[in-house]
Amino acid sequence: MKPEHAVAVVAVISILLVIGFYQGAFSPWLVPPTVTTYMPTTTPTTTPITGGIPVGTFTVLDVAYNTLDISTALTLGTDVDQNFWGFRNGGWVLLGAHGSSGTNIELTQTDGGYIYVLMKPHTTHTEIADAAKVLAMNSRAVSSQFADPDGDNVKEFVIKWSMFNVPPAASGYPSTTFTGYYFTEISASASIPSGGQPADATAQTTANTVKYLGWYMTLGTTKTALAVFKIQIKVNTTNSGKGELQSLYVPTKGLLSPSSADYSTSDTSQYWTFTFGSTLGDCIYWPLSANTNDKFELTAGIKYTFVTTDVVDWTITIYELNYAQSVVMDTDTCELIFN
């Protein structure tokens, strides 16, 4: 057979094989591919995760405790309120309030896998959320902010809560548990007692390097805390030679320099104002645990040079916030007299 004839025969055979394949002539000898279709035996309790973000129905359980007395739980709906919010398209959306057996909430793609827990005292109860403790003790707590989701014109602590990787439930909806921690604030009973007020004293005429005026506050009741947002030192002279602040020791803040204060004067006085915050969300807290010393010491270092007839008053004022964020003040004056 000539070579050109052999090529023609191979071409004809190849064409016949292709036609036979598409017409199914060889199907008895071919193994069809295996196709598996998943058919769930029960309806899934949540919408399948889309794009890695959890969506669908979840149950959120919640409890609450006093930070300084965790042996006894706070009663939700009586002592404190906790409810659950979403932040969607720039606005707050209520997902559900506390339920005794849990709260079912619906997550959407817009939630991004997070919800927000609003923590607040119930009516006139005096609890203040301890955001630092919440973040430390809850692995799903991402961050805290001071905001007003419920629109009552009062900002409260809001905890951002991760809903990623919530384990599936054997029955019902997948669930997660939020544990709230609170201080019981004590501004109504806190005071500078007689023992915490430095005695009036005569003072030397020569320049004083540093003299210390020691005040202290007491809370009066253990397992409580005081929220302090500002402390002011005042001296009733504008002559810095007769009165100048050198330092102030503040519990939880340590030794503060007057350079960190806002200094101002009036016609008769000098003022050093140490500001720590303006809301419950950024002030400092003085907690009083059980079996601890109920003295929160505040010591001012001062300098002066007196001459005949000088009488100079040093005044400390502690500015506090109660649970409703109303200002409460405690103050005392120490008088130094020419010697």
CB 270 within 8 A of CB 235: yes
d(CA 121, CA 119): 7
Average pLDDT, rounded, for the chain: 88
Question: Scanning the structure block, which residue is given the tokens 């969607």?
Answer: 88
Q: Which fold has domain 194-338?
A: Immunoglobulin-like (2.60.40)
Distance CA 66, CA 182 (A): 5
Q: Cα separation of 301 and 245, whole Å? A: 6
Q: Terminus-to-terminus CA distance in the chain, angstroms?
A: 138
Which residues touch 42 (CB under 8 Å, ≥6 apart)?
Answer: none
- Those residues whose C-beta lies under 8 Å from the C-beta of residue 180, and which sit 6 or more positions away, are 62, 63, 64, 65, 74, 80, 82, 117, 119, 129, 134
Q: Which residues pair with 181 in a beta bridge?
A: 65
In whole angstroms, what separates CA 316 from the centre of its chain? 29
Structure tokens at 192: 């500078």
Residue pair 246/303 in contact (Cβ under 8 Å)? The answer is yes
Which parts of the chain have pLDDT scores under 70? 1-51
Q: Which fold has domain 56-184?
A: Immunoglobulin-like (2.60.40)
The rounded distance, in Å, linking the Cα atoms of 28 and 164 is 50
Query: Residue 329 forms beta bridges with which residues?
Result: 319
Per-residue pLDDT at 52: 84
Provide CB contacts within 8 A for 106, sequence distance 6+.
56, 57, 95
Question: What is the identity of the amino acid at 95?
Answer: L
Residue 307 burial (10 A CB sphere; 0-12, 13-18, 19+): exposed
Q: Which tokens in the block code for residue 60?
A: 């959120």
Domains 56-184 and 194-338 are alike in CATH topology: yes
- Residue 21 to residue 163: CA distance in whole angstroms: 54
Q: For position 308, what pLDDT does the model report?
A: 85
Q: Please, which residues have CB within 8 angstroms of residue 290's CB and are 6 or more apart in sequence?
A: 68, 69, 222, 223
| 117 neighbors 80 (Cβ within 8 angstroms) | no
| pLDDT given for residue 206 in this prediction | 86
Cβ atoms of 298 and 292 within 8 Å: the answer is no
pLDDT 10s digits, 78-136? 999 999 999 999 999 999 999 999 999 999 999 999 999 999 999 999 999 999 999 99
> How high is the pLDDT of residue 72?
84
Structural domain boundaries in the chain: 56-184, 194-338
> Which DSSP helix (H) or strand (E) runs through 18?
helix 3-22
